[in-house]
Amino acid sequence: MTPTRNRFKRILLKVGGESMMGERSYGIDPRAVLKVAKQIKKIYAIHTQVAIVIGGGNIFRGIAGAKNGIDRATGDYMGMLATVMNGLALQDTLEKLGVPTRMQTALSMPAVAESFIRRRAIRHMEKGRVVILAAGTGVPYVTTDTGASLHALELKCDVLMKATKVDGVFTKDPTKYEGAKRYKTLNFKDAIEKKAIQVMDTSALAMSQENNMPVMVFELFKNSNLVKAVKGEDIGTYLASDVKTELAK
Ligand code: UDP
């Protein structure tokens, strides 16, 4: 691969299931998947090594199943299978755009995808293939945020990028409160202590903090944000252990 002048050479991109459903209230909208894939193609085109952890919340979450009487662990496995459906949709769409991919799953299903093998995933990225990681961690009681944090560490990514619907981390939910302010930078300690701030699961944050894996949170579809993030431009919210918590001006 051509050497890159981007700030981040290898990234772990967490794409929530909701990005796959567009205006629908449930499931997969192929137009939404195409929008996601087009953003990913842009960073593939500038020689970024990319691993994607795909969520499944647009189809099923174990915690919601538990509220309706499904055993929590069973529901979580159903949620993991939902991420595989999203992964396949994203793989298909990326390849139609000419982006080479490999999908690996944390739950073995060899007829569908490769099983997750760390060194192999790294090799795929080195060869310029976008790696889609589905089924989260392969175990229940956690979410794909934790999977993203784990995979970012073991695949030696430079940063974990979490694509969301809002442009970063806010003091309160910006979709509900007008006065919500965006953090430009956020120290992990503050992110964990201020429970009102919704960034990621506490386990995912704690793992990122303990292992010094910076996290960027931003809106995927806004102004080529993903390319800007890879190039190191100041967008969304940047979380790390060595930054002061500051609001955006
Ligand atoms: N899940 C799990 N273990 C994992 C990852 C996911 O049990 O390592 C289950 C869990 O039920 C979760 C669902 O899969 O709610 C879908 O993932 P998630 O909620 O993280 O999707 P997102 O919110 O990113 O769309």
CB 168 within 8 A of CB 220: no
Has residue 74 got a pLDDT over 80?
yes
Q: Which domains does the chain have, with CATH numbers?
A: 10-247 (3.40.1160.10)
Which comes out higher in pLDDT, residue 242 or 223?
Answer: 242
pLDDT band at residue 76, thresholds of 50, 70 and 90? very high
User: Would you state the pLDDT for residue 196?
Assistant: 60
Q: Which residues of 125-150 are buried (b: 16+ CB within 10 A; e: fewer)?
A: beeebbbbbbbbbbebebbbbbbbbb
- Residues framing ligand 1 (Cβ under 6 A): 16-18, 55-57, 61-63, 75-76, 79-80, 82-83, 136-137, 139-140, 142-147
Q: How far is the CA of 108 from the centre of ligand 1 (A)?
A: 17
- CA atoms of 232 and 242, how far apart (whole Å): 17
Ligand 1 atom closest to Cα of residue 80: 14
User: Would you state the pLDDT for residue 115?
Assistant: 98
Ligand 1 atom closest to Cα of residue 135: 5
Q: How far is the CA of 239 from the centre of ligand 1 (A)?
A: 22
- The pLDDT of 57-65, averaged and rounded, is 95
User: Would you state the pLDDT for residue 175?
Assistant: 87
pLDDT tens string 196-225: 677 888 899 999 999 999 999 999 998 899
pLDDT tens string 168-199: 999 988 888 889 999 999 999 999 988 667 78
Query: Closest residue (by CA) to atom 14 of ligand 1?
Result: 79
User: Would you state the pLDDT for residue 195?
Assistant: 67
CB burial of residue 66 (10 Å; 0-12, 13-18, 19+): middle
CB burial of residue 23 (10 Å; 0-12, 13-18, 19+): exposed
Q: Which residue has the tokens 């087009």?
A: 38
pTM of the model: 0.96
Q: How far is the CA of 179 from the centre of ligand 1 (A)?
A: 30
Has residue 145 got a pLDDT over 70?
yes
- CA atoms of 240 and 24, how far apart (whole Å): 34
User: Would you state the pLDDT for residue 119?
Assistant: 98
Q: How far is the CA of 142 from the centre of ligand 1 (A)?
A: 7
Could you tell me the two tokens for 52? Answer: 């994607």
The proportion of the chain whose per-residue pLDDT surpasses 70, expressed as a percent, equals 98
Q: How far is the CA of 111 from the centre of ligand 1 (A)?
A: 22
Residues near 191 by Cβ (< 8 Å), separated by ≥ 6?
Answer: 169, 197, 199, 205, 239
